[in-house]
Structure 1
Amino acid sequence: MKILFIHQNFPGQFKHLAPALAKHGHDTVALTLRVEKPTKWNGVRVLPYKLKPRAAQNTHPWLVDFDTKVTRAEACYHAAVQLREQGFTPDLIIAHPGWGESLFLKDVWPKAKMAIYCELYHKAEYPHTGFDKEFQPEIRATEAMRLRLKNVNNHEHFDIADAGISPTAFQADTFPPEFRDKITVCHDGIHTDVLTPDSAARLTLPTGETLTRKDELITFVNRNLEPYRGYHVFMRALPRLLKERPNARVLIVGGDDVSYGARPPKGQTWKQIFIDEVRSQIPDQDWARVHFLGRIPYDQFQSLLKVSRVHVYLTYPFVLSWSLFETMSVQGAIVASKTAPVEEAIIHGQNGRLVDFFDKDALVEEVTRLLDNASEREELGRAARKLIVNNYDLASICLPKQLSWVESLV
């Protein structure tokens, strides 16, 4: 079978599936903006395409998003035509449609089956919008109209896609009924044989200091430090948390950019905005115990999770982070926000502790509770790992289900 993957930052969510299909003997190709020249990756031929420069034009703000997607779709279309002329005709196209690239691929290969990664359908009602009143004080009457246009890309894909796949039920359930029935819920998968608890784990800080599980370490991880992932709530909890835990070290991982939601005021970062907000409440000797690590290599990230004594995970009702399941896999003791889709994975008191997203005092109290109770940490951690091994393990659960899904499409 000939399979074409489409992802602007390949492999993205297909980092396990694409190589597995190549290993099973399928002729597997990917089109992406990520590479500069053709290359081979784990058996997959990875081919680049480029976006042509465009002159600036006046576009209604509600249409800017779709305009960008059409621009990418046109570029991907021309790359697909070139690929067709070279003799490649896929039996199946597997695409992440979020950036629009796959919009016109059925115009190139009308007989090919198409499957899409269903990350999120945008909804105007609470809690999909208006969840955090600080950054969206009201749901404007025009918001539904703006989001309806933002979903044009989704609806265009509904017309050409034969099936979808989504990592959580929450994400799949955001899609309208007419397409929801085509979506298989299957997580991307966790390497539970690699992400294992390790009592001998060590993490070396940029200062050269080495931390172990003997240290009282509180961890917080975002791709980028921003409100969508509760960075502001965590920072506002720090003054009390540091005061009540004089021996604790706080390790914060995340970049300065924005992955989701609104950007900060021009020239600022969310990271610095909330540092500035709380810094005066924290004595210098306490602030010295807070370590911003930025983005770190994956091996260091694994070590960070393994040395953590309590891990904090906060999110709006939104796409679930891989880092939550990775922390659960290493048997982490977790305090998380009581938001969907976190509640799909964590049951309060059984395999983690849940708090109201906005309640910084409850967050401090739950973290402190776990720091003081080693037996509870161990019990929650064991249950967390058991859930991941039994339901989200890459090799035994998720990848076989993904491969079966692919085989069912052609």
Structure 2
Amino acid sequence: MIRVLFIHQNLPGQFRRLMRYLQTRPDYEVVAIGEETAVRREPGGPKLRVIGYAKPDGPGDKTHHYLRHFEGCVRRGQAVARVCVGLKQEGFVPDVVVCHPGWGEALFVKDVFPRARLVVFCEFWWAADGLDVGFDPEYPVSLDDRLRIRIKNSVLMQSLLAADDGVAPTRWQRGVHPAELRGKIREVHEGIDTQQLAPDPHARFVLPGGAVLTRAQPVLTFVARNLEPYRGFHVFMRSLPRLLAGNPELQIVVIGGDGVSYGRRPPQGHASYRAALKAELDERFDAVDWSRVHFLGKVPYAAYRSALQVASLHLYLTYPFVLSWSMLEAMAVGVPVLGSDTAPVREVIRDGENGFLTPFFDVALLADRALDLIARRHEIAQVGVAGRATVLARYDFETVGLPVYLDLLKPLDERVDERADADAQEVA
């Protein structure tokens, strides 16, 4: 029996599919730790014990602002360490711990479970230049921002130094980590469920007012966890007048919340970037036909999947940052994707072969390219087929990601023995 402990403040996070798979295996015992609010959304079951911890207090008022993130992570790591001590006292000592280190939860795991294999999810390494920070001239950064960002990586560095293995979802995400630490990190995506996410020529998507969208009509989709500049929402919004004027039958479906996952808050006086940009467009243009732009907020997964399945084209924009599941999931259902010509997207999409690329900041070109592709949606269907083939070959959970994760889930002693055997064979 292999004992596996998952730790993620927003449980299950990137570990959802792996956790659910292990629950079907009799040779694994699975426990998961997350913040209490997340645990309430992801209850345990017969094969999964879930333990919540209270959200820790924030940093003190007098803490230097470079250190506020660090202090918050230390407090969270300490809360997780207390839960781990309780598990140890009960007799549960994991063979393997899989943890997202971004919020400090991995900091002290090895101090409580020194013989457990610690695998950390290396999602992103922050940089003051060359990646997301300073990419968008509309949101300039100061020297103070750059100094703070350097300190922000302290948590990731400490966690990765303590870990036995790291995993990064894409080659680009692995590559943004320092060369000194990169040797610990393997490239393996958490996996796309390509059986559930598949083309459906008969798909129907029902809008809130009752209107039904199908593949017979032109539909453009835009999806982000939250509608914000990091995911190009401002560029997308500014393309709407040209998109709507260029095709009077076009329906645009927008899925995502009004919060902020990354970057700075919305402009002062506006509750969200959506409100701010809508006000900007209404001031600049005489009449934007908002009746054909459907802002749906966050929707159930089945509705999200149906929206992708009826789409003629899916638009995905991102800073040089973490690649979203939504782009790969759109490709999995066979809808052609028009993506921003930024590094994480270029790793996946080859323009005109398995998708299409467009410059991130060129609003007019984005609209014109999208209108052309939608008008030729029957001609470009094979590009959507090629996009799905890419996901099957490189990002499928069962055939690509799972075998690598199962290798990483071997206990530390077993992995050490295997390496010793391999070294002996190499010497022989």
The TM-score with structure 1 as length reference comes to: 0.95
Give the Cα–Cα distance (whole angstroms) in 2 for the partners of residues 144 and 28 of structure 1.
Answer: 40
One-letter amino acid of the counterpart of residue 66, structure 1: F
Give the structure 1 partner of residue 361 of structure 2.
Answer: 358
Give the structure 1 partner of residue 117 of structure 2.
Answer: 113
4+ long deviations beyond 3 Å = 36-39, 51-56, 139-144, 280-285
One-letter amino acid of the counterpart of residue 233, structure 2: Y
Give the structure 2 partner of residue 174 of structure 1.
Answer: 176
Conserved? CA contact 2:253–2:295, under 8 Å: yes
One-letter amino acid of the counterpart of residue 242, structure 2: R
Deviation track 1:11-38 (CA, whole Å, cap 9, x = no partner) reads 1101111232333321111111122599
Give the structure 2 partner of residue 392 of structure 1.
Answer: 395
Deviation track 1:35-55 (CA, whole Å, cap 9, x = no partner) reads 259952472211111235579
**Per the alignment, do residues 87 and 267 of structure 1 end up closer, same or farther by CA in structure 2, a change over 3 Å counting?**
farther
Matches within 5 A, 1:90-109: 90-109=94-113
Conserved? CA contact 2:119–2:408, under 8 Å: no
Matches within 5 A, 1:5-404: 5-24=6-25, 25-33=27-35, 34-35=38-39, 39-41=43-45, 43-51=47-55, 53=57, 56-136=60-140, 139-266=141-268, 268=270, 269-282=272-285, 284=287, 286-404=289-407
One-letter amino acid of the counterpart of residue 110, structure 1: P
**Per the alignment, do residues 52 and 199 of structure 1 end up closer, same or farther by CA in structure 2, a change over 3 Å counting?**
closer
Give the Cα–Cα distance (whole angstroms) in 1 for the partners of residues 108 and 58 of structure 2.
Answer: 19
Q: 291-300 or 171-180: which moved more?
A: 171-180
Give the Cα–Cα distance (whole angstroms) in 2 for the partners of residues 255 and 327 of structure 1.
Answer: 18
How many residues align? The count is 408
Conserved? CA contact 2:131–2:321, under 8 Å: no
The percent identity for this pair of structures is: 41
Conserved? CA contact 2:56–2:76, under 8 Å: no
Deviation track 1:94-135 (CA, whole Å, cap 9, x = no partner) reads 100111012112121122221100000111112332100101
**How far 1:285 sits from its partner (Å)?**
7.2
**Per the alignment, do residues 31 and 267 of structure 1 end up closer, same or farther by CA in structure 2, a change over 3 Å counting?**
farther
Q: Which runs of 5+ in 2 are unaligned?
A: 416-428
Conserved? CA contact 2:57–2:75, under 8 Å: no
* Partner SS state of residue 108, structure 2: helix
Give the structure 1 partner of residue 419 of structure 2.
Answer: none
Q: 219-228 or 50-59: which moved more?
A: 50-59
One-letter amino acid of the counterpart of residue 261, structure 1: G
Give the Cα–Cα distance (whole angstroms) in 2 for the partners of residues 38 and 245 of structure 1.
Answer: 43
Give the structure 1 partner of residue 4 of structure 2.
Answer: 3
* Partner SS state of residue 89, structure 1: coil
Give the Cα–Cα distance (whole angstroms) in 1 for the partners of residues 186 and 53 of structure 2.
Answer: 30
Give the Cα–Cα distance (whole angstroms) in 1 for the partners of residues 300 and 102 of structure 2.
Answer: 26
One-letter amino acid of the counterpart of residue 196, structure 1: A
Give the Cα–Cα distance (whole angstroms) in 1 for the partners of residues 59 and 16 of structure 2.
Answer: 35
**How far 1:349 sits from its partner (Å)?**
0.9
**Per the alignment, do residues 55 and 354 of structure 1 end up closer, same or farther by CA in structure 2, a change over 3 Å counting?**
closer
* Partner SS state of residue 230, structure 2: helix
**How far 1:300 sits from its partner (Å)?**
0.2
* Partner SS state of residue 9, structure 2: coil
Give the structure 1 partner of residue 424 of structure 2.
Answer: none
**Per the alignment, do residues 50 and 241 of structure 1 end up closer, same or farther by CA in structure 2, a change over 3 Å counting?**
same
Give the Cα–Cα distance (whole angstroms) in 2 for the partners of residues 382 and 393 of structure 1.
Answer: 15
Give the Cα–Cα distance (whole angstroms) in 1 for the partners of residues 364 and 195 of structure 2.
Answer: 36
**How far 1:283 sits from its partner (Å)?**
5.5
Q: 36-45 or 308-317: which moved more?
A: 36-45
One-letter amino acid of the counterpart of residue 212, structure 2: T
**Per the alignment, do residues 54 and 324 of structure 1 end up closer, same or farther by CA in structure 2, a change over 3 Å counting?**
closer
**Per the alignment, do residues 112 and 276 of structure 1 end up closer, same or farther by CA in structure 2, a change over 3 Å counting?**
same
**Per the alignment, do residues 408 and 358 of structure 1 end up closer, same or farther by CA in structure 2, a change over 3 Å counting?**
farther
**How far 1:374 sits from its partner (Å)?**
3.0
**Per the alignment, do residues 223 and 37 of structure 1 end up closer, same or farther by CA in structure 2, a change over 3 Å counting?**
closer
Q: Which runs of 5+ in 1 are unaligned?
A: none
* Partner SS state of residue 6, structure 2: strand
Q: 266-275 or 355-364: which moved more?
A: 266-275
Give the Cα–Cα distance (whole angstroms) in 2 for the partners of residues 165 and 52 of structure 1.
Answer: 27
Conserved? CA contact 2:120–2:160, under 8 Å: no
Conserved? CA contact 1:38–1:45, under 8 Å: no
One-letter amino acid of the counterpart of residue 45, structure 1: R
Give the structure 1 partner of residue 422 of structure 2.
Answer: none
One-letter amino acid of the counterpart of residue 368, structure 1: L
Give the Cα–Cα distance (whole angstroms) in 2 for the partners of residues 20 and 198 of structure 1.
Answer: 25
**Per the alignment, do residues 380 and 103 of structure 1 end up closer, same or farther by CA in structure 2, a change over 3 Å counting?**
same
The TM-score with structure 2 as length reference comes to: 0.91
